[in-house]
Amino acid sequence: MQQLGEKISPSLVVLESLSYLDLSKNNFSGSTIPSFFSSVPSLRYLNLSHSLFEGLLPHQLGNLSSLRVLDLSSNSLYGHIPSSISNLPPLSYLDLGFNLITGQIPDGLGQLKHHESLYLSANLLHGLIPASVGNLSSLRLFSLSANKLNGTFPNSMGLLSNLEELYVGTNSLAGIVSEASFAKLSKLKIYTCSNFLFFNMNSNWVPPFQLHILKMSSSNMGPRFPLWLRTQTSLNYLDIS
């Protein structure tokens, strides 16, 4: 398949009924994501991943009020996540992974009530995980791994009753984690958290989930062996090194 190597033509804006646009895996090296995409109000799917885009994330993306899927992963995008993202209530899939995005995770992401998959991994995000993520009631996958996040694990994460996969490894998280952080995570299957957190669980705690994969290297789970691990009868991968 021949790759596109030129800038995207503004003539796309005349396609007023366009709902699906996939320009992934092309060579737009040196090009920024054009702001005129915001003039295609019917757009529901936009995939610009793996295409060598550079520059800031355009805040005009917040004008795409019908957008359900936005994939900008594996480019060279930098700057902060624009607050206008919170203007996309139908958005159910957002992938900004493997870029150079800095700043903090905006509180406004908690307004995306229909969000099912949120990938922010492999960036340069710092600061705290905002408590507002507990409002993402439809979230099934949440990936924050390989950033520079600090602080502790917010108890509001324990409200994500539909969460199945959580990746927060390779950050600088620290502090105490209690049962409250997992209170309603009955559907959780994959949990990776390679940080310096102290897991202060009651000795008779029975988790609401049955994990398949658990990676908790560098975490403090002692001094005694955590008895709650004995309840995980579906576990097939365990790392507590």
Domain ranges of the chain: 1-9+17-101, 103-241
Tell me which H or E stretch contains 143.
strand 141-143
Return the pLDDT at 13: 67
Average pLDDT over residues 18-47: 89
Is the predicted pLDDT of residue 105 greater than 90, yes or no?
Answer: yes
Whole-angstrom distance, CA of residue 182 vs CA of residue 34:
41
User: Does pTM surpass 0.85?
Assistant: yes
123 pLDDT more than 90: yes
Per-residue pLDDT for 7 more than 50?
Answer: yes
Class of CATH domain 103-241: alpha beta
CATH code reported for the domain at 1-9+17-101: 3.80.10.10
79 CB-near residues (< 8 Å, 6+ apart): 55, 56, 57, 101, 102, 103
Asked if residue 138 lies in contact with residue 115, where contact means CB atoms within 8 angstroms, the answer is yes
- Confidence band for 5, pLDDT divided at 50, 70 and 90: very low
The confidence score (pLDDT) of residue 200 equals 86
User: Would you say residue 125 has pLDDT above 90?
Assistant: yes
Gap between the Cα atoms of 164 and 179, Å rounded = 17
